[in-house]
Chains A and B, each alone.
Chain A
Amino acid sequence: MAKLKAFTQEWMNAFRRRIADSKEYREIAGNWEGSVSIIINPDPARGVPETVYLFTDYWHGDVKDFLVCDKAKAESADFIMSGDYIRWKQIARKEIEATKALMQGKLKLKGNLVYVVRNVKTVNKVVDLLGEVDTLFPDD
């Protein structure tokens, strides 16, 4: 199967399916409710000419909307994570951990940190599943 281009709706759909099909995610994420947006800063030299806005929504083990969206939609999420393209790529490839990247200032988080760390297993599982999506990054 061909790799999916990162940050496209098709890629978001595949990401959503991975999570929805994961029994383990369903068990871990029973307490999580709320939307998370991902903002990827532009990096023209690596093929990301404009800011990318992604919106994901989770509800007690279920997954709801997974959208490539505009700025306003992204900023309406309960949690907003933003960072440089290269950092997101490192996270998707499991080269750095999301929590460590946050603490080191490689990513930014707007929202309640306590809630996030309380549900860190859920966050880590979502990142693991993201890594399983066969992805073609803009600079690959």
Chain B
Amino acid sequence: MRDHVGEKSISMDVPENIQVQDLKTILAERYPKATEALEATLVSINREYAFAEDIIPDGAEVAMFPHVSGG
């Protein structure tokens, strides 16, 4: 997804009380090439795993990444 967006991190303003799934929709509109990757991505808010209907609090650090493969 980093390749589709062309940035490692971005800072953006979003509507108050936005849910994870709405943020993905906004990102897909802004970065159409990332649409497919966005569907499969895991999401974290402030370093905890987050899910479609979770609300993103003010000033949150949100990360989107593939299924982990450490070891």
A binds B: no
Residues of A at under 8 Å CB distance from B?
none
